[in-house]
Structure 1
Amino acid sequence: MISQEARDLFAANVAAMTAGDAPHLAAQVLPEGVERRKDVAYLDDGAETHLLDVYTLADADADAKLPVIVDFHGGGLYYGSKENNECRDMLLARQGFAVVNANYGLVPSVSFPTQLKDAMAVLDWVRDHGAEYGLDAGRVCVTGDSAGGALALYLTAANGSPQLAGALGLTPSGVDVKALVVTSGMFRLSGGVHATALSYYMEGYLQTPADHIKVDRYLDLDRLVVDGAVPPVYMITSVEDFIADNTYELARILHARHKDHAMSVWPKGDERALGHVFNIVQAGDPDASEAHQVVRDIAGFCKRYI
């Protein structure tokens, strides 16, 4: 049961985040030379939340199968859409990838376990239909920013581990995800320095006793990493990212568990703040050199493993 107080918090945050994103989305310059195939259904239910876009170079060899980056947008698990990430993902496509930019159901209409099912269904779509769009399902990386990074982390950990997948009520896709890239990851769904706010959000994240049974033990990121099968991870944050502590915590756990990982922590920007998910927010500004460097870094990390 979600309290009215929590529902009001979600609604207020959505309104504020929509207003905050509007200026840069209106001003962004989309890159040229990228083909956009919009609003492809990955589940046949007519829901807007189950649509994805595919971006590829317009002059890509029609007979070649491209390596894939699957992206899940941020927004606290309750806000946002694929359009928020479109410009950054088109820039990734210019690095030689087919980028799959997917919507998923949002809290409080659905809970976190259902969002994980949506995310797994995107991998299923890549497996079953990717070849129709020039995608190489044998060379797949996953990325996510902010709460989309949490979704991507849990997804990839479960996708590689039948044990964890079963506990979360999922079926692994069979796609061998080669790498995971997370920007300003909101990995903590409870506790930490933002525990008070998260206590309200948790009413939406885990809405039923069944949700809690599936997820509660894996709110412990160490247990998630141990029981899951996380691929090599590249984490990106900055000293101006208000939840950088989440990235540091995951990096500590990955190091302690001898998991392949790398981390970039950007310093304060000289000409502009390099805050939360700056490579997403600033991607549409041709002069945002740091954001564009992050895009190249993400592409380089993925290419290392595919």
Structure 2
Amino acid sequence: MKNFNFLDIYVLKTKSFHSMEYAKNTFGGLLVLGFCLLQTISLSAQCSVAFTQCPGSVSIMDCDHSGDEAIQWPLVIANTTGFCTGYTLTQTLGPTSGSLVPLGTYSIGYTAQVQDLFSGLTSTATCNFSVSVIADPTPPSFVLCPPNITVNGVLVNGACTGNAFWSSPISTDNCPNQSTLTSSHGCGTPFTSGPTTVTYTSTDASNNTATCTFTVTVLCNSGTSNQGDSRVYITLQPNPTSATFTVTLPQPARPGMRLRITDLAGRMLQELETAPGTEQQTVQAGALPNGLYFLQVLENDKVIAMEKFVKQ
């Protein structure tokens, strides 16, 4: 009986199921069943390629309102089955990832191609999806807005006024560091008798806006006096912050003053000494998880000022 070698396997693979006489003449009738089994295995192991990861529709926002944006999308991955060469991946349609493109929708296409190791036949698969670069449609939102305030006014030459103080509102936006905050009235400025509406407006780079409003009411009764507000007020900029922010004190820091960051439950997360003799202090917050925190100013182990900030 003739020996059964790899070349014979390839020859058998190229024959049809109807070529039984070839198998008989070459190997003898006892190997016809083996030939059929081999042919079945060879057919099931033919090379093919398919995409296992093809992105769906992708949207990218033009957060800085520049009119163009770097286009990008998730990784495109294909996989092969059978006896194949390694597949080649080619982008056949649309701009390449990382290109700056104007607002609009772009069709992206990829082709993966492999070659069967035995027959030399090629197999291909395609992946098509769209990427849209859009203007930012989402307005900012306020996470903190002061409550209504009532203060006692002072009568001076028949006119009643009162100074009102509050913690600065905090807004956040889906595009970080792209919004600005303006107000109709400044903290600590005098207000006239009666109610006054204070409005803060947060505007992002795409001119989407959100507002925060509260009322300051000055009460004026005969004989009332205002001894002044003994609280210490600080400002934090920028707020929200992604890494560092500046604390501005109402007067130069004195030796021994400290800054402390706590979470909403009051747990201390970070503490540092102030730089004496200067009103502005720099705080590193980059290691904090995103969320809402308190910045406290301490002197002689007593909290003399506190302000909220958002890490994003």
User: Which structure features the higher share of strand residues?
Assistant: 2
Normalised TM-score (structure 1)? 0.21
User: Which structure features the higher share of helix residues?
Assistant: 1
Higher relative contact order (CA 8 A, sep 6+): 1
Larger Rg: 2
